[in-house]
Amino acid sequence: MSGSDAGLVLEVQQQQPMPLHGRIEAAPGELLALVGPSGAGKTSMLRVAAGLMKPQQGLVQVAGQTWCDTARGLWRPPQQRHVGLVFQHYALMPHLSALGNVALSLLQRPEPERGREAARWLAHVGLTDDLMHRRPALLSGGQQQRVAVARALAREPRLLLLDEPFSAVDMMNRQGLYRLIADLRRELAVPMVLVTHDLHEARLLADRLVVMDAGRVLQSGRPEFIHRSPRTARVAELVGIANLWQGWWEGGDGSEPGWGWLRWGEDAASVRLRVRDKGRMSPHRAVSFVIPGDAISLADVHRADESGHIAAHVDAVRHQGEITLATLTLAVAGGQPLALTLSGRERRGLEPGQALAVALDLAQVHLMPLRETG
């Protein structure tokens, strides 16, 4: 993607009024989700893009136009940026109908056209004729958010920004809004940026995730890539990877290029695992590592001595319809916890206290620098 040609390029470097560092890009029609804890800087990045906050050093380019370039002294105010904004709490005018709220985005049009255009956009997001004439207080949360989306789209934006747009909506209405956003992604040829605390929501809707913490962009990429290859242990924590462990990276022994030895644990129950060496970690150092859930399977306890197999016992089992959530303790490194989501035959007959083994696909083990503390 060449964001500077058609999509979004946003780059910020500042310490005041809050630290904010990083670069994000989104192609036309691509939905980018900013995830991270409260105070990570997600909404501040949106404010920079919209022109509601001027960075100390920064660049904002959309559809080949430069909206901000502090190095060149360029700055477009918000009203000149053609941004569609959707907020968490709708920000609708309470004294206006749904039609009136959307028509506010159409003041540049001749008055006779505003009502027709507002009705067209409201119908597009699924509001009936009757609901269009109601004030916000007489609409459900999901309906109010549809009005807010229609208002944003009526501006014919070159960039669509969604700041926690579903968090104030109940789950039933939220599912309908998810489908609406999914449909809009296929229709709109503009970059979209979503701020959310909900990792499930981010994975469901986004083409790419941007993981932020303490005002910094830590990693960006497709959701499945980040979950399999988080850059650091902190990224793994922030995207909700449950199986995150620590070990000692011994490195390769020269017998097989591209492979090396990871030691897990320091006592008699420690194991040495032959894992992929991606050439990014120097040997003889403490590391963090993760193993994707689909690289872990259950096996008979008698296979615990085989390569890549570890003895375990089941601590807890929770059956949730077509899936089962299981918590195990591994017989390694003093007893390490393992969380698994199981479906199909593997979950049949699984009971607390059961002894078994887990089989690890060692080619899927991903090593990371040990997170510094203090």
Question: 140, 150, 50, 153: which is closest to 100 by C-alpha?
Answer: 150
User: Which residues are paired to 211 by β-bridges?
Assistant: 35, 219
Supply the pTM of this predicted model. Answer: 0.89
Cβ–Cβ under 8 Å, residues 259 and 272: no
Cβ–Cβ under 8 Å, residues 167 and 197: yes
Q: What is the DSSP string of 204-240?
A: HH-SEEEEEETTEEEEEE-HHHHHHS-SSHHHHHHTT
Q: Tokens 């620098």 map to which residue?
A: 369
Structure confidence at residue 6 as a pLDDT band (50, 70, 90): confident
Q: Give the ranges where the chain is alpha helix by DSSP (H).
A: 42-50, 98-103, 111-124, 129-132, 141-154, 171-187, 199-205, 223-228, 233-238
Distances (CA, A) of 179 to 71, 128, 156, 167, 234: 41, 17, 20, 15, 31
Q: Mean of the per-residue pLDDT values for the chain? A: 91
Q: What is the bridge-based pairing of β-strands 159-163 and 83-86?
A: parallel
Question: 355, 370, 240, 218: which is closest to 293 by C-alpha?
Answer: 240
Residue 2, pLDDT score: 41
Instruction: Name the 3-class secondary structure at 7.
Output: coil
Neighbours of 300 (CB within 10 A): 11
Q: Which residues of 10-19 are buried (b: 16+ CB within 10 A; e: fewer)?
A: bbbebeeeee
Question: 343, 256, 280, 353: which is closest to 312 by C-alpha?
Answer: 353
Residue 208 to residue 211: CA distance in whole angstroms = 10
Phi and psi at residue 121, to the nearest 5°: -70, -35
Structure confidence at residue 373 as a pLDDT band (50, 70, 90): very low
Residues 252-266: what's their mean pLDDT? 89
Indicate whether 100 pLDDT > 60.
Answer: yes
Residues 9-34: what's their mean pLDDT? 95
Neighbours of 138 (CB within 10 A): 12
Question: 310, 309, 297, 288: which is closest to 243 by C-alpha?
Answer: 288
Dihedral angle of Cα 115, 120, 125, 126, to the nearest 10 degrees? 90
Edge-to-edge strands, sheet with 208-213: 74-75, 65-69, 57-62, 8-14, 20-26, 216-221, 208-213, 31-35, 192-195, 159-163, 83-86
Residue 169, pLDDT score: 82
The residue among 228 and 187 whose pLDDT is bigger is 228
Residue 1, pLDDT score: 38
Residue 264 to residue 248: CA distance in whole angstroms = 6
Question: 240, 85, 90, 83: which is closest to 166 by C-alpha?
Answer: 90
Residues 147-173: what's their mean pLDDT? 90
Span 141-154, pLDDT tens digits? 999 999 999 999 99
On the 0-12 / 13-18 / 19+ scale of CB atoms within 10 A, 94 is exposed
Cβ–Cβ under 8 Å, residues 303 and 276: no
The residue among 268 and 74 whose pLDDT is bigger is 74
Residue 138 to residue 84: CA distance in whole angstroms = 24
Span 312-359, pLDDT tens digits? 999 999 998 889 999 999 999 889 999 999 988 888 888 999 999 999
Q: Walk me through the domains of the chain, giving residue ranges and CATH numbers.
A: 8-237 (3.40.50.300), 242-369 (2.40.50.100)
**194: part of which helix (H) or strand (E)?**
strand 192-195
Neighbours of 88 (CB within 10 A): 17
